[in-house]
Amino acid sequence: MGTPISQRELRNESGAIMRRIEAGEHFTVTRNGVPVAELTPHDPANAGRRRRFLPVGEVAAGLTRLPDWDVESFTDELRELDAAVDDGDGDRWGDTS
């Protein structure tokens, strides 16, 4: 975890903070004291390791076969999920029927 900075501090002092990041410093941005983001220097050598999202083409290339869901299995799964949900308190949004 890096040096904590508030969202306001990041907004008001972004230039100075960016220079510190370029120098190698790490920051944790907080909102109301709760960490919400990490600011770290860009490292081209590690750029490919921390990806969270994949391009659609890569995902599509990795799919060899979609799951085979027949109607009966899908219906059974929906029934199990419906049974697991406790909806006994009725509609909270005004429908009293």
The pLDDT score that the predictor gives to residue 74 is 84
The pLDDT score that the predictor gives to residue 61 is 73
Residue 91 has pLDDT above 70, yes or no: no
Residue 45 DSSP label: G
Predicted confidence (pLDDT) per residue in 11-65, tens digit: 999 999 999 998 889 999 999 989 999 998 887 666 555 556 667 777 777 766 6
For Cα atoms 56, 57, 60, give the angle at the middle one, nearest 5 degrees: 85
Cα–Cα distance measured from residue 62 to residue 9, given in angstroms and rounded to the nearest whole number: 43
Mean pLDDT of 77-83: 87
The pLDDT score that the predictor gives to residue 30 is 92
User: CATH fold of 1-43, please?
Assistant: YefM-like fold (3.40.1620)
The residue extents of the domains of the chain are 1-43
- Of residues 1 and 81, more confidence is placed in 81
3-class SS of residue 67: coil
Residue in this structure with the two tokens 């501090």, named with its chain if needed: 9
For 77, the token pair is: 């799964």
